[in-house]
Amino acid sequence: MRYAGLDFAGRIATKLATLAAPPYYARCYLARLNPNGYISPNATIYHNNMILGQNVFIGDRVVIYEDKGGGIVKIGDKSHLYGDTTLQTGLGGSIDIDSNTHIHPRCQISAYRSNVVIGKDVQIAANCAFYPYDHGIQGGVLIQEQPLTSKGDIIIEEDVWLGYGVKVLSGVHIGKGAVIGAGSVVNENIADNGIAVGSPAKVKAFRRIKKIN
């Protein structure tokens, strides 16, 4: 891992290190061995405007893709992207993930028209999706031929936990410390420390702030 990196030699070094490492979560320690982090040899990086922090972990079959007009992808220090997750940017959209955020398998972040901004220390369970855009739905025109529209950026503040299969739609701001229950569809803002569930997600309670005597 001393020689790991995104260039050809660095990818070969990473592959050799991977051969002697256990699979899945147990492989995360490799990212701590080099400031360049660990990028799986099976990950697909097709993006010309990407900034990686130190000790980032990018797992098997992760795809980071730049479509036409795609903006920057930024991944902060010690953040983890687990297997089969896809990040893509296009039509001016960008992705900014702060430090120590964990995105679990099979998540989809598609930043088109607007941006996806995820704060530090965020925990995102498997099968979550983030779409800061919508398709036009005018009658008589094929959906695939209609322009993309957006209500604005998706912004997720620090220390948020999203349960399994949460979907977050355009223009949504999820406040600091919020918890979103599994399977929820978030189409409106969630207050700080709110515990929200449902489709659409509604705040049902708030996290208690523990007082220290």
Taking the CA atoms of residue 136, residue 68, residue 96 and residue 150 in that order, the dihedral angle to the nearest 10 degrees is: -10
CATH superfamily of 42-206: Hexapeptide repeat proteins (2.160.10.10)
pLDDT of residue 152: 97
Which tens digit of pLDDT belongs to each residue from 130-145?
Answer: 999 998 888 888 988 8
Parallel/antiparallel/unpaired status of strands 202-206 and 129-131: unpaired
Domain ranges, ordered by start, for the chain: 1-37, 42-206
Give the pTM. Answer: 0.92
Which tens digit of pLDDT belongs to each residue from 96-128?
Answer: 999 999 999 999 999 999 999 999 999 999 999
Which tens digit of pLDDT belongs to each residue from 169-183?
Answer: 999 999 999 999 999
